[in-house]
Amino acid sequence: MLSKQTRDIVKSTAPVLAEHGTAITSVFYRNLFAAHPELLNVFNHANQAQGRQQAALANAVYAAAVYIDNLENILPAVVQIAHKHVSLGIKPEQYPIVGEFLLKAIKEVLGDAATDDILKAWEEAYGVIADAFIGVEAQMYKEAREQENGWNFFKPFTIVRKVQESESITSFYLKPVDGSGVPAFKPGQYISVRVLIPGEQYTMIRQYSLSQASKPDEFRISVKREADNDPNGVVSVYLHTQVNEEDTVEVSPPAGEFLLDTAKTTPVAFISGGVGITPMMSMLETVAVSTPDRPTVFLHAARNESLAAFGEDIEKHALNMSNIQYKTYFSDGPDGQITREALEAYVDPTGDAYVCGPVPFMEAMIRNLLAMGMKEEQIHYEFFGPALQLEHA
């Protein structure tokens, strides 16, 4: 437990972190990678280039300062980040390295304002928070390792099929090279794919939602090809253009907590934009197989018909369901966006809604669902990339 003095000091730094947090985390990552370039095999270079990782870490450090008296308040965020860490293969011995460079960055940015007392308090606080992460992640690693067909970190998978779903999305069907099965996963979870792209110095890891219901022998991911000049597109372009059937990639076990509650039979709505449809496909297929009478709504937004994926899959699943409504909205067409009126026409506010897509899309959907009378706990959402704060008030 942290002493009251330590907690008071950490809390007192919250306003400073709000002001200088991104500067501190930018210095932190710069110095960390200069001293430990091997960590570039783990971190997403695109998120670094765009400042998203720096902003996400700054938010996390600020939250730790604000809630230092009641760290259980940030436990949901710890669990969410821990899923990402386990999916990336983060190890306990990396935490002291991060702590060392975080403290050095605080000192470098704040200068004399970062007194010895402040640095000592933050060192103690970081130790407690790091121990929380290490403990949560150790349990996750244990569960991943001990489940049937489970493993830790990465293992090679063969791409057994590659299927174009739309102008921009291609599905990859993956089976373990060693011939084993794959662990059962929960609808909404993701896997990490690690590749070494020719000409690149470091491996790159990206997380992709599993886009079909759990199968005993294979995973399916469905990857949107980003623009060639988009930093986010390095891996997706490589997968689309250079990785073929019978090639191998490295894969981590399923992770994530954007999960369909499969025990419920009450109304459910799946609302997606763009490639946010991928986890919804796993959820929809699971409902079609396990609770086909569950009242279900599936609404998807795409720019145009050529970019809308999985139309045939949706129709196939719908044939097995007794109470489903589904519609795709094309922003280039007469229907336009998924509006508040559209949500009111389709979504039962007494049920649950699952939302995934670009951040502005999700903010609009969540804001409208709340205005319809849905409660926060009825609305479940996930966005891709570092944990950013959604604004939907």
Q: Which of 29, 62, 95, 126 is catalytic?
A: 95
User: Residue 388: its pLDDT value, please?
Assistant: 46
Residues 131 and 167 in one domain: no
More confident residue, 384 or 124: 124
Domain membership flag for residue 393: no
Q: Return binding residues.
A: 85, 190, 206-209, 274-279, 383-386
Q: Where is the domain boundary, 91, 115, 146?
A: 146
Q: From 233, 255, 277, give the residue that closes a domain.
A: 255
Q: Tell me whether residue 261 is in a domain.
A: no
**Window from 18-22, 95-99, 221-225 with minimum mean pLDDT:** 18-22
Q: Residue range 175-195: average pLDDT? A: 96
Tally of CB atoms within 10 A around 346: 16
Which CATH number fits the domain that encloses residue 194?
A: 2.40.30.10
Radius of gyration over alpha carbons of the chain, in Å? 22
Band of the pLDDT at 47, cuts 50, 70, 90?
A: low
| 80: CATH | 1.10.490.10
Q: Per-residue confidence at 42, pLDDT binned at 50, 70, 90?
A: confident
d(C-alpha 240, C-alpha 168), whole Å: 9
Q: Same structural domain for residues 274 and 293?
A: yes
Query: Are 237 and 323 part of one and the same domain?
Result: no
Whether residue 159 is found in the same domain as residue 129: no
Which domain range does residue 325 map to? 268-382
Q: Are residues 142 and 8 in the same domain?
A: yes
Angle, CA 218 vertex, CA 297 and CA 238 arms, to 5° = 90
Domain assignment of residue 389, yes or no: no
Q: Do 239 and 362 lie in a common domain?
A: no
For residue 357, the 8-state DSSP code is S
- 271-318 pLDDT, tens digit per residue, is 999 999 999 999 999 999 999 999 999 999 998 888 888 999 999 999
CA dihedral of 135, 137, 143, 146, whole degrees rounded to 10 = -90
Residue 390 located in a structural domain = no
- Average of per-residue pLDDT across 167-183: 96
Active site residue 100: no
Q: Residue 123: pLDDT above 70?
A: yes
Query: Which has more pLDDT, 293 or 65?
Result: 293
Same domain, 297 and 348: yes
Q: Are residues 135 and 169 in the same domain?
A: no
Q: Where are the beta strands (DSSP E) in the chain?
A: 155-164, 169-176, 190-195, 204-209, 219-224, 248-251, 268-273, 296-302, 324-330, 352-356, 379-382
CATH number at residue 321: 3.40.50.80
If asked whether residues 38 and 134 sit together in one domain, one would say: yes
pLDDT value of position 92 = 94
Cα–Cα distances (Å) from 392 to 324, 368, 376, 388, in that order, read 28, 9, 11, 13
Look at residue 388 and tell me if it is in a domain: no
Q: Is the pLDDT of residue 38 over 80?
A: yes
Q: Of 57-66, 96-105, 280-289, where does the model show the most confidence?
A: 280-289
Q: From CA 80, how far away is CA 386, in angstroms rounded?
A: 10
Q: Is 30 within a domain?
A: yes
Residues 169 and 141 reside in one and the same domain: no
pLDDT class for 331, splitting at 50, 70, 90? confident
| DSSP for 230-244, written as a single string | -GGGHHHHHHHHT--
Alpha carbons 253 and 123: distance in angstroms, whole number: 32
Residue 390 has pLDDT above 50, yes or no: no
Whether 251 has a pLDDT exceeding 50, the answer reads yes
Residue 226 has a pLDDT of: 87
Neighbours of 318 (CB within 10 A): 17
The pLDDT tens digits of the residues spanning 338-389 come to: 999 999 999 999 999 999 998 899 999 999 999 999 999 999 997 665 444 5
Which tops the pLDDT comparison, 239 or 226? 239
User: What pLDDT shows up at residue 385?
Assistant: 53
The answer to whether residues 28 and 140 belong to one domain is yes
Q: 24-28, 329-333, 348-352: which has the minimum mean pLDDT? A: 329-333
Q: Among this protein's residues, is 126 annotated catalytic?
A: no
Among 29, 62, 126, 137, the active-site one is: 137
Final residue of a structural domain among 114, 146, 178: 146
Does residue 160 surpass a pLDDT of 60?
Answer: yes
In a domain, 101, yes or no: yes
Query: Shortest CA distance to 51 belongs to which of 357, 384, 386, 382?
Result: 386
Dihedral angle sign, alpha carbons of residues 241, 247, 250, 252? positive
Residue numbers belonging to the annotated binding site for FAD = 190, 206-209, 383-386
CB 358 within 8 A of CB 331: no
Cα angle 6, 11, 15 (rounded to 5 degrees) comes to 145
Q: What percent of the chain has pLDDT over 70?
A: 94
Judge if 142 and 24 occupy the same domain: yes
Mean pLDDT of the chain: 90
* CA–CA separation, 184 and 301 (whole Å): 29
Q: Enumerate the known binding-site residues for heme b.
A: 85
DSSP β-bridge partners for residue 87: none
Give a yes or no: residue 387 inside a domain: no
> Structural domain tally of the chain?
3
